Amino acid sequence: MAKRLLVLLIALLPVLASGAPMGFDEARHLLNRTSFAGNVEDIEAFGKLTRAQAVDQLLGWTGGRVATPAPAWVNDFESPRKLRGASEEERKAFQRQQFEKGAELRRWWVTEMLTTQSPLTEKMVLFWHNHFVSSLQKVRSPVLMYRQNQLLRKHAFGYFGDMLHEVSKDPAMVVYLDGASNRKGQPNENFAREVMELFTLGEGNYGEQDIKEAARAFTGWSIDLESGEFLFRRPAHDDGVKTVLGRSGNFDGDAVLDILLAQPQTAELIVSKLWREFVSPQPDSAEVRRIARMFRDNRYNVKVALRALLTSDAFYAPQNRAALIKSPIDLIVGTLRQFRFETGEVTPFLLAARQLGQDVFAPPNVKGWPGGEAWINSASLLSRKQFLERLFRAQEMPQPLPAMAPNADGGARFARAVMDIHFDSERWLKQFKPGDAALMKVVLAAEPASTVATAAQGVERLRELVLDPSYQLK
């Protein structure tokens, strides 16, 4: 009897542990991954919760309204037809106007990242922006890119299937993947290929003939050039029988999307990408399949998948701590939020992110930013350290951040923005006692990589920590 009881208690240990408070280290890890960076008071508050309670609280804060006012022009779509017959000077003026709107759109989003009460929301919108990729460079309409951003916000924590159907008809996506040129008798395969390879199934789970047949189903999906809204051009649609992934019928685009959603590989692809975003670079295949089944069984509810990932033992496993490299946005926004920098206009930070390889609303190609180790090389690591060095010495050295031309957004505006950066180190460091080990735990996800023989205290010690290579990890 005693032996059986001991076996039962050992078996129940994981269950019992799951109901225990997280503690400081687990809370710090959770917030570091889900909210750019954790502040001391947040870490301590979350440390009193169980894993499930903490994740439920984070998910409960999502989906709120955007606090940053949208640019004034977001409802004023300008038809490209207005350029017909325009003079060269009028064309240049239009291009300058669109460029400035694009810059304002970027400033709007980064401002929201810096000030939001739900950083997990912004991280997920950025995640979907890098999954359903479109770029200002090709779409050339800040209005359409803003609308797409709102669509991703609407579905960021909802049902993936609903998001897939809406994004597939999103005008920015139609333009980006050449949907308007997909016509009966002359199908354009770009969208059909990418929706299978990148958005749902992943490579190796479809054939070239599936792409050709699916492209026929998406014929006629276009855009109204006057309103910028989605338009189905029925005369351009191929209403013949198609065969996609072994199923045949008079399919339209929505029917093909439903066929893709019915494949288990779709749920596994999304869960694998979420795993790489939040857990580690190498997904655990058994865990991915387990969570993917939950994901599908709950109609592709994103919150179900996220909750399963963020409460899993794998998420908190020692080998998965400090296993991810901060993206430029993670590094910049996380630093500004964690240390409570006072900033004016965000132009310098947008330019820093671009120089470090992450220009929001302009991923490099249809596959998006590759992330992971691609963020770091000898040049980018040096640039990251230079950025941090200048940031923490902003008042001492009031000059532009490294390798960024002030004239990119206007010299005077840029100079004023740099002068507005302020870090109240004395106030921030009051949270810690001299020599407090908690300082290093809050700032770094792992032990320092550099051994510095110094008795530095205060802001000098803080600078040493943020310049340590471990600061680049989360």
Residue 221's CB: how many other CB atoms inside 10 A? Answer: 23
Query: Mapped to the 3 state alphabet, what secondary structure does 19-45 carry?
Result: CCCCHHHHHHHHHHHHCCCCCHHHHHH
Distance in angstroms (rounded) separating the CA atoms of residues 57 and 252: 40
Together in a domain, 245 and 348 = no
Among 62, 66, 64, 160, which Cα is nearest to 120's?
A: 62
Instruction: Quote the pLDDT of residue 416.
Output: 72
Instruction: Quote the pLDDT of residue 454.
Output: 61
Together in a domain, 299 and 357 = no
Last residue of a domain, one of 423, 439, 461: 423
Q: What does 124-141 look like in DSSP terms, one character per residue?
A: HHHHHHTTS---HHHH--
Instruction: Quote the pLDDT of residue 268.
Output: 98
Together in a domain, 170 and 210 = yes
In a domain, 76, yes or no: no
pTM, entire model: 0.92
Distance in angstroms (rounded) separating the CA atoms of residues 219 and 189: 10
Last residue of a domain, one of 60, 76, 108: 60
Together in a domain, 106 and 202 = yes
**300 touches 306 (CB < 8 A):** no
Q: How far apart are the first and last CA of the chain?
A: 46
- 473 DSSP β-pair partners: 325
In a domain, 70, yes or no: no
**363 touches 130 (CB < 8 A):** yes
How many C-alpha atoms does 183 have within 13 Å on its Cβ side? 7
In a domain, 79, yes or no: no
Together in a domain, 191 and 254 = yes
How many C-alpha atoms does 57 have within 13 Å on its Cβ side? 16
In a domain, 75, yes or no: no
Positions of the chain with pLDDT under 50: 1-17, 398, 400-409
Distance in angstroms (rounded) separating the CA atoms of residues 382 and 402: 10
Together in a domain, 106 and 252 = yes
Together in a domain, 92 and 191 = yes
Which tokens is 168 given? 């597939």
Q: Provide the number of structural domains found in the chain.
A: 5
Together in a domain, 316 and 329 = no
Together in a domain, 278 and 306 = yes
Q: CB within 8 A of 373, min separation 6: which ones?
A: 281, 325
Together in a domain, 417 and 437 = no
- CA 205 to chain CA centroid, Å, is 25
Distance in angstroms (rounded) separating the CA atoms of residues 66 and 75: 16
Three-state DSSP class for 186?
Answer: strand
Residue 6: φ, ψ to 5°: -65, -45
In a domain, 473, yes or no: yes
The boundaries of the domain holding residue 466 are 425-474
Instruction: Quote the pLDDT of residue 63.
Output: 84
Among 312, 357, 313, which Cα is nearest to 332's?
A: 357
Only one residue has tokens 């280290």, namely 25
Distance in angstroms (rounded) separating the CA atoms of residues 355 and 403: 7
Which tokens is 252 given? 């339209």
In a domain, 77, yes or no: no
Distance in angstroms (rounded) separating the CA atoms of residues 116 and 111: 8
Distance in angstroms (rounded) separating the CA atoms of residues 221 and 380: 41
In a domain, 55, yes or no: yes
Which tokens is 188 given? 């354009």
Together in a domain, 18 and 118 = no
Among 341, 35, 124, which Cα is nearest to 349's?
A: 341
14-28 burial string, b = 16+ CB within 10 Å, else e?
Answer: eeeeeeeebebebbb
Q: Enter the DSSP assignment of 424.
A: -
**285 touches 222 (CB < 8 A):** no
Last residue of a domain, one of 222, 246, 261: 261
Together in a domain, 50 and 128 = no
Which tokens is 409 given? 């957004």
- Calculate the average pLDDT of the chain: 91
pLDDT digits (tens, 9 = 90+) for 250-304: 999 999 999 999 999 999 999 999 999 999 999 999 999 999 999 999 999 999 9
Three-state DSSP class for 189?
Answer: coil
Residue 243 parent element (H or E): strand 242-244
**469 touches 450 (CB < 8 A):** yes
Three-state DSSP class for 444?
Answer: coil
In a domain, 126, yes or no: yes
